[in-house]
Amino acid sequence: MPNWKDDVEIVVDEGKISVPYSWTVGSTLSRFYCELRDNGKIWGNRCPSCGKVFVPPKIKCIDCYEDLHDWVMLPGTGTVETYTVVRYQEPVLHPRKAPFVYGVIKMDGADTGLVHFIGGVDPEEVKVGMRVEAVIEGEREGNILDIKHFRPIK
């Protein structure tokens, strides 16, 4: 029996799809997002055992496995630990138009890095160690994009 694949060149067409979805972020991140949306404040939480402060907050300490109930309001400032400049457009995955900068910001008062945009600066001028501050959106929806980006402190 002949195989149809023997008579044709196999062509592969690659594509991408956007799949809308929703899920609950749980009680800890819900509180984090509600404080961000309602008050424009960034909160972390502290481990009662080792004292490490997490932002975004976690349910349990990743080192001690203690429940984290001690909330800490952060000042919204921090330091760029690392970054990358995104130079291509990816309409499905990127919420911003390229070029833009993703950075890991170690916020003052926290022990963990927060991944977010670095803006208000030419991408070529971003540096590790740069001091930055959060720019909070005026119209907020209760998600991480309520922080517009982190910009250099002048």
Residues engaged in binding Zn ion (CB under 5 A): 47, 49-50, 61, 63-64
CB of 68 to Zn ion, least distance (A): 8
Report how far residue 28's alpha carbon sits from residue 30's, in angstroms, rounded to the nearest whole number: 5
**Are the C-beta atoms of residues 28 and 59 closer than 8 Å to each other?**
yes
Task: Output the smallest distance, CB 63 to Zn ion, in A.
Answer: 5
- For Zn ion, the closer of residues 63 and 141 by Cβ is 63
Six-digit token string for 82: 């690392």
User: In the complex with Zn ion, which residue's Cβ is closer, 77 or 112?
Assistant: 112
Kind of pairing between the strands at 100-107 and 113-118: antiparallel
Neighbours of 36 (CB within 10 A): 24
Q: How far is the CB of 59 from Zn ion (least distance, A)?
A: 12
Residue 50 vs 153, nearer CB to Zn ion: 50
Nearer to Zn ion, 61 or 126 (CB): 61
Smallest gap from residue 49 Cβ to Zn ion (A): 5
Rounded Cα gap, residues 29 and 146, in angstroms: 13
Tokens 């945009």 belong to 117
